[in-house]
Structure 1
Amino acid sequence: MTLFCLSTVSAEGSRYDLPRSYNSEISSAGEFLEMQTGTVLIDVRRLREYRAGHPINPNGLANNQEAYNVPFPHIVGYGDQDPQFFFDAVVAVITGLGGDENTPITTLCRTGFRSVLAANILTDPGAHGVTGTAFTNVRNIWEGFVGRELEAFFAPLGVDSLEAIGQTDLLGKGKKGVPHSLLGHEALHHNYLDLNNNGVIDEHTADVCTDTPDNNPDKDGWRNHQALPWGTGVSATYAYLGDTAQYPSCVSP
């Protein structure tokens, strides 16, 4: 039997094929272990996202047992974080821990997109109009905190197959969005993996705060399929600018 790989490999390495200036990617599980030896985890998600759940590592070093929240590029809304302010806030975290530009840093967001942008700024600040000494040892968590679906493979489906499963217009959830006019050509069906083996591909649900649906055991992130420790408490040590009062109250589901 001959197997063909239908996916392409990006030289950049990030999950979203974004340009990469930072050192490398790391898995959630790998970062969990690295926190025990001094790596600083920077969670760049919004305040409300961090409040609803963020990575912790009870075995981590003192003052390094949780992710530090330094949002980028969104603090509360969209695009409301200045790159220079973000960079300076991370510098403040690292210097407060007695570190320097060589301190190992890992970035994290929801699925691995925003954290790439943040890691690039930390590694190459000048390219983003930011003034400061570049960090030399920055990595990004590939999966993110919530994660995305994992896929087994892409299988081509013809028009007959698509119509047999009721996909005669725009392809629905779990399928490539292909207009009906293109169904005469081959379309690709997403073969998502049922990671928790419950017979369905699960939807997002909110199990902490109604405005943050992070729970989905079929996503591959830190808190879902990885099942790594996480918490909801916000302490001044790890809060953005050390201010817990800026975090909105959580409305439980």
Structure 2
Amino acid sequence: MSILPKQAAVIVAAITAGFATITQAEEPPCPFDESRSGLCGHYHSQISPAEAFLNAVVKRGNWSRPSERPVILDVRSISEYKAGHPEGAYNAPYPFIYDACNAENPARHPDGACVSRGERIAQDDAAFVEYVQRTIPDKNRPVYVLCRTGVRSVGASNLLTDAGYTEVRNIWEGFVGIHLTAPKIVDFDEDGNPIRENLIVDLNHDGQIDDRDKNGWRYHYGLPYETRLLPRLIYQDMAHLYAWD
């Protein structure tokens, strides 16, 4: 049986509309989008570095069952993890495993991140989830996800939630954090009304803006961290990369 061009166009349009309806119907609502990345968050909630440190480090011996004790999952790259991480934090890099700095400017920040980015070893979504499932098999255990500024951790938290983890919380400010801004009067208009601009805040009042004014775990919060590399905590699937500069 042949189909005339006009009839075929009607059928194609109907099928296309049907797929569009299905896609719209299957698109899950966004529980919240108040993350720094602008991505929709499907995980449990946000958590501050201070509360994460209190629950996962300070209170680690106070939980009646080991499965109740929260664990910190550091998804920063291997070089960042080497430069400092919360005590007891597992390293499971996402969305990249290693960041090689630009050959023309190979310097790194004190936290291990490249000043000028070069080539990266990417992390596969499925491989990341599979590794976490091997490392933290109890999907009801609280997992606090940490990255540098609270952006990479959003994607990682969503993946783990989609994989069935029920208590995933994103550490909002991250390990390093970002500069905070505040409205300041910089001038007045012709009617005498103040003109305000959002300017970076010198949090420690030392007269300069640098990493120490960022609001993350390491700097403004001033929480403890360590550089020890414990075999059970490092990313086992590429353990040899911890020997790289």
* Structure-1-length-normalised TM-score: 0.65
**What are the within-5 Å matches in structure 2 for residues 1-253 of structure 1?**
11-35=32-56, 36-37=59-60, 38-56=69-87, 66-77=88-99, 78=120, 80-95=122-137, 100-125=138-163, 134-153=164-183, 189-202=197-210, 216-241=211-236, 244-250=239-245
8 A contact 1:155–1:191 mirrored in 2: no
1:77-119 residue CA offsets vs partner (Å, 9 max, x unmatched): 4361111110011111113xxxx11110010100011000000
Instruction: Answer with 1 or 2: which has the greater Rg.
Output: 2
List per-residue Cα deviations over 1:160-218 (Å, max 9, x = no partner). 9xxxxxxxxxxxxxxxxxxxxxxxxxx9843111111112212xxxxxxxxxxxxx210
Q: 1:152 to 1:245 in 2, by over 3 A?
A: same
Specify every segment of 5 or more residues in structure 2 that has no aligned partner in the other structure, as ranges.
1-30, 61-68, 100-119
Output the amino acid matched with 2:94: F
Question: AA paired with 1:138?
Answer: V
C-alpha separation between the residues in 1 aligned to 2:168 and 2:132? 12
| Matched letter for residue 143 of structure 2 | I
Mapped contact 2:32–2:40 kept (Cα < 8 A): no
Distance between the aligned counterparts of 1:232 and 1:242, measured in 2?
A: 20
Distance 2:222 2:237 in 1: 28
Distance 2:95 2:127 in 1: 11
Q: How many residues align?
A: 181
Letter paired with 2:75: V
* CA shift digits 1:8-52 (9 cap, x unpaired): xx9422123221000111000010011024111100011111111
Structure 2 CA distance for aligned equivalents of residues 158 and 242 of structure 1: 59
- Of stretches 84-93 and 12-21 in structure 1, the one that deviates more from structure 2 is 12-21
Which letter does structure 1 place at the counterpart of 2:178?
Answer: R
Q: Is the 8 A contact 2:183 2:196 kept in 1?
A: no
* Partner SS for 2:135: helix
Distance 2:121 2:241 in 1: 18
CA RMSD in angstroms, aligned pairs only: 2.5
Structure 1 runs of 4+ with >3 Å offset: 154-160, 187-190, 242-245
Structure 1 117/200 Cα, relative in aligned 2: closer, same or farther at 3 Å?
same
Unaligned runs of 5+ in 1: 1-9, 57-65, 126-133, 161-186, 203-215
